[in-house]
C-alpha cells in the first residue's frame, strides 16, 4: 500500500504541476489539493471505487446540494467544499476545515505569516500574479464541471492517474519531481556552494523549513509589476530565433536624464541589490555608433520596444556582428567577471593594493572570498608592486608611507574594474579599517571623500 502523499506547499512543486505558474496558479493549487484527496491521509482521501469518474469525485467531495450542470456553481452551501477560498485550501493547515472555520483562523499571526512567506517566495521566482490577493479570495473549486474534469485529465497526463475504459484509476507508483526540475529552481545561482545548499535544503526537513535566504532588493514597491512585465517580455523575445533588438528608454543615473538606446538584450543578472538587463549596444551619453556592453537596472527602464534588424538606425558594428552571426552571449559576461572584481565587466581592469589593520583582517577579511584575484601578499610583495606600478615622487612617497604603518597589518592585491560602483561601495564600507594604496588616482579619490566626511563632523 502506498504511503500517504504529503508534499508540502512549495513554489517549485506547484511550478512542476502546472507551468507557467503565474498564469496557471489556480490549476496548480487545485492539483495540489487533488493529490491530497486522491493519495493523502486517510481522513482526507476520497472514498472512490477502483475505477471512478468525475461524477464519483463530485459525489465524494462536494455536498449533496452541489449542482451537477456545467455552469459555475453558486454559493449554495457554506459547508460545501466549493465554498472554500484558495487561501482556506492552501493555508488552513487542515484540508477538512470549512470556510467558516477558515474565517475564524485567517487573521491569526501564524496564518498571515505563512501567506506573506509564500507570497514572497512567488515573487522571488518571478511567479507572483498581479492579482494574487484577489486569487486568495476566489473559490478554488467553485468552477465549472468542465474545469474540474480537465484537472483529472491533467493528472492523467502527468502520470498521477491511469485512464481506463469507463474512467480513471489510481496508480501504484506516484510520480517523483525530477531532480533536474528541482535543480532548475537554483541552477541560476552562480555560487556553487549556495546552489548546492539550496538544492539540499529547499524542501522541509521533518516538517520545518531549515533554509532561508534574504537578499537586498532596492527596487521600489511601485515598480515591482513593471519589472515583472519587463522580465516576461524579455523571456518572450529570447524564445525567438534570432533574438530581436530592442529600443530602450532608460533613466541614466550618470547623466540624470532619459536616454533612448538600441540594445541587443543578452540576459538578466541579479547582482547585489537588484536585477539588471545585460545588454550589448549603444552606450548612454556616447557616440551613437559606439557599441559596448552595459548593465541596465530593470526598474529604471521606462519602455522596451522590439525593433527589426533591418532598421536603418542600427549601429553599423552591431549590424555587422548580426550578419556574421557573431553576436555576444551570456557566457562572455561570466568570463569577463572572472577576470576582475566588479559587475561593470566592460570597465578596464586595474591593479588594486589594499592595507587592512590586523584586527579587521582577522575578523572579516581572512578566509573570506571576494574574488579569486583578491589575495593576501607580504609586506615585501607590496613594496615590489609599488615599485612596478608607479614611478618618481609618487613611488617614493608610497614606499615611505608603508614604512610608517604597523608591521602587523595585512596587505591584499586584486584586479578590479576601474570606476565600478560596487567595488567603491565595498571599500567605503570597510573604512576606516582599509587604506587604498594603489592605484594612485583611486587613493586620491578616497582621500577627497574622507576630507569631505570630516567636514560634516567638525
Note the pLDDT of residue 49.
94
Note the pLDDT of residue 181.
47
CA 299 to each of CA 222, 269, 293, 433: distance values in angstroms, whole numbers, following the listed order? 10, 13, 19, 34
The answer to whether 282 and 236 have CB atoms below 8 angstroms apart is no
Taking Cα atoms as reference points, which of 323, 334, 217, 194 lies closest to residue 267?
Answer: 334
pLDDT at 362 over 70: yes
Beta-carbon contacts of 457 under 8 Å, excluding residues fewer than 6 positions away, are none
pLDDT at 185 over 60: no
Peptide bond into 66 cis (omega under 30): no
For the ranges 68-72, 158-162, 215-219, 445-449, the one whose mean pLDDT is highest = 445-449
456 three-state secondary structure: helix
pLDDT at 82 over 50: yes
pLDDT at 186 over 80: no
Peptide bond into 123 cis (omega under 30): no
Residue 104 burial by CB count (10 A; 0-12/13-18/19+): exposed, middle or buried? exposed
Note the pLDDT of residue 1.
59
β-sheet bridge partners, residue 304 = 248
User: Alpha helix locations (H) across 125-252?
Assistant: 132-136, 145-157, 179-183, 192-201, 224-238
pLDDT at 63 over 50: yes
Report the chain's C-alpha Rg in angstroms: 29
Please report which confidence band the pLDDT of residue 194 belongs to, taking 50, 70 and 90 as the band edges: low
pTM above 0.85, yes or no: no
The residue with cell 533536474 is 180
The set of cell numbers assigned to 196 is 548546492
The average pLDDT across 37-50 equals 93
Q: What's the gap between Cα 364 and its chain centre?
A: 27
Please report which confidence band the pLDDT of residue 266 belongs to, taking 50, 70 and 90 as the band edges: very high
Percent of the chain with pLDDT over 90: 62
Taking Cα atoms as reference points, which of 357, 364, 342, 355 lies closest to residue 415?
Answer: 342
The average pLDDT across 151-160 equals 92
Please report which confidence band the pLDDT of residue 69 belongs to, taking 50, 70 and 90 as the band edges: confident
If one counts every other C-beta atom within 10 angstroms of the C-beta of residue 213, the result is 10
Torsion of CA 94, 97, 102, 106, to 10 degrees: -10
Note the pLDDT of residue 239.
86
The set of cell numbers assigned to 266 is 543578452
Beta-carbon contacts of 272 under 8 Å, excluding residues fewer than 6 positions away, are 216, 343, 422
Q: What is the DSSP letter of 208?
A: B
442 three-state secondary structure: helix
The average pLDDT across 255-268 equals 94
Question: What element of type H or E holds 322?
Answer: helix 316-323
pLDDT at 101 over 50: yes
Question: What element of type H or E holds 333?
Answer: helix 330-339
Taking Cα atoms as reference points, which of 203, 155, 163, 178 lies closest to residue 38?
Answer: 155
Note the pLDDT of residue 218.
87
Note the pLDDT of residue 357.
96
Note the pLDDT of residue 34.
96
Note the pLDDT of residue 420.
95
Q: What is the DSSP letter of 311?
A: -
The average pLDDT across 10-14 equals 88
Note the pLDDT of residue 86.
94
Note the pLDDT of residue 392.
95
Please report which confidence band the pLDDT of residue 178 belongs to, taking 50, 70 and 90 as the band edges: low
Note the pLDDT of residue 339.
93
d(CA 30, CA 82): 12
Beta-carbon contacts of 456 under 8 Å, excluding residues fewer than 6 positions away, are none
d(CA 254, CA 252): 5
Instruction: Quote the mean pLDDT of the chain.
Output: 89
The average pLDDT across 85-111 equals 91
Please report which confidence band the pLDDT of residue 130 belongs to, taking 50, 70 and 90 as the band edges: confident
380 three-state secondary structure: helix
Please report which confidence band the pLDDT of residue 68 belongs to, taking 50, 70 and 90 as the band edges: confident
Q: What are phi and psi of 237, to 5 degrees?
A: -65, -40
Taking Cα atoms as reference points, which of 391, 398, 390, 388 lies closest to residue 435?
Answer: 398
Please report which confidence band the pLDDT of residue 180 belongs to, taking 50, 70 and 90 as the band edges: very low
The answer to whether 270 and 218 have CB atoms below 8 angstroms apart is no
Note the pLDDT of residue 211.
77
Amino acid at each position: 500500500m502506498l504511503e500517504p502523499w504529503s508534499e508540502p506547499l512549495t513554489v517549485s512543486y506547484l511550478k512542476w504541476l502546472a507551468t507557467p505558474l503565474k498564469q496557471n496558479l489556480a490549476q496548480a493549487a487545485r492539483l495540489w489539493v487533488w493529490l491530497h484527496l486522491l493519495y493523502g491521509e486517510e481522513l482526507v482521501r476520497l472514498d472512490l471505487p477502483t475505477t471512478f469518474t468525475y461524477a464519483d469525485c463530485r459525489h465524494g467531495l462536494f455536498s449533496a446540494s452541489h449542482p451537477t450542470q456545467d455552469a459555475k456553481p453558486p454559493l449554495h452551501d457554506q459547508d460545501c467544499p466549493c465554498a472554500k477560498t484558495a487561501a482556506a485550501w492552501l493555508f488552513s493547515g487542515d484540508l477538512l476545515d470549512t470556510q467558516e472555520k477558515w474565517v475564524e483562523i485567517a487573521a491569526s499571526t501564524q496564518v498571515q505569516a505563512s501567506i506573506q512567506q509564500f507570497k514572497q517566495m512567488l515573487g522571488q521566482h518571478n511567479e507572483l500574479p498581479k492579482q494574487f490577493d484577489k486569487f486568495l479570495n476566489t473559490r478554488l473549486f467553485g468552477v465549472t464541471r468542465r474545469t474540474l474534469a480537465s484537472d483529472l485529465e491533467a493528472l492523467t497526463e502527468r502520470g498521477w492517474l491511469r485512464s481506463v475504459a469507463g474512467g480513471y484509476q489510481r496508480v501504484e507508483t506516484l510520480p517523483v519531481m525530477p531532480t533536474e526540475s528541482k535543480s532548475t529552481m537554483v541552477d541560476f545561482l552562480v555560487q556553487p556552494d549556495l546552489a548546492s545548499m539550496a538544492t539540499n535544503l529547499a524542501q522541509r526537513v521533518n516538517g520545518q523549513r531549515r533554509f532561508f535566504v534574504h537578499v537586498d532588493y532596492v527596487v521600489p514597491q511601485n515598480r515591482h509589476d513593471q519589472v515583472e512585465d519587463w522580465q516576461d517580455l524579455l523571456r518572450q523575445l529570447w524564445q525567438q530565433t534570432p533574438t530581436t533588438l530592442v529600443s530602450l528608454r532608460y533613466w541614466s543615473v550618470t547623466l540624470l536624464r532619459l536616454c533612448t538606446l538600441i540594445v541587443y538584450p543578452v540576459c538578466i543578472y541579479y547582482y547585489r541589490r537588484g536585477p539588471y538587463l545585460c545588454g550589448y549596444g549603444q552606450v548612454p551619453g556616447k557616440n551613437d555608433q559606439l557599441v559596448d556592453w552595459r548593465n541596465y537596472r530593470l526598474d529604471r527602464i521606462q519602455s522596451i520596444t522590439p525593433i527589426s534588424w533591418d532598421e536603418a538606425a542600427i549601429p553599423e558594428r552591431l549590424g555587422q556582428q548580426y550578419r556574421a552571426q557573431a553576436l555576444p552571449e551570456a557566457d562572455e559576461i561570466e568570463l569577463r567577471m572572472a577576470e576582475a572584481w566588479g559587475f561593470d565587466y566592460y570597465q578596464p581592469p586595474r591593479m588594486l593594493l589594499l592595507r587592512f589593520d590586523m584586527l579587521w583582517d582577522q575578523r572579516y577579511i581572512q578566509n573570506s572570498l571576494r574574488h579569486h584575484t583578491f589575495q593576501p601578499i607580504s609586506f615585501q610583495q607590496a613594496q615590489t608592486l609599488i615599485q612596478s606600478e608607479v614611478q618618481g615622487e609618487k613611488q617614493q612617497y608610497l614606499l615611505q608611507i608603508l614604512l610608517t604603518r604597523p608591521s602587523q597589518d595585512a596587505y591584499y592585491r586584486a584586479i578590479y574594474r576601474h570606476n565600478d560602483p560596487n567595488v567603491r561601495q565595498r571599500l567605503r564600507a570597510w573604512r576606516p579599517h582599509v587604506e587604498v594604496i594603489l592605484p594612485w588616482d583611486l587613493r586620491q579619490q578616497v582621500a577627497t571623500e574622507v576630507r569631505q566626511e570630516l567636514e560634516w563632523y567638525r
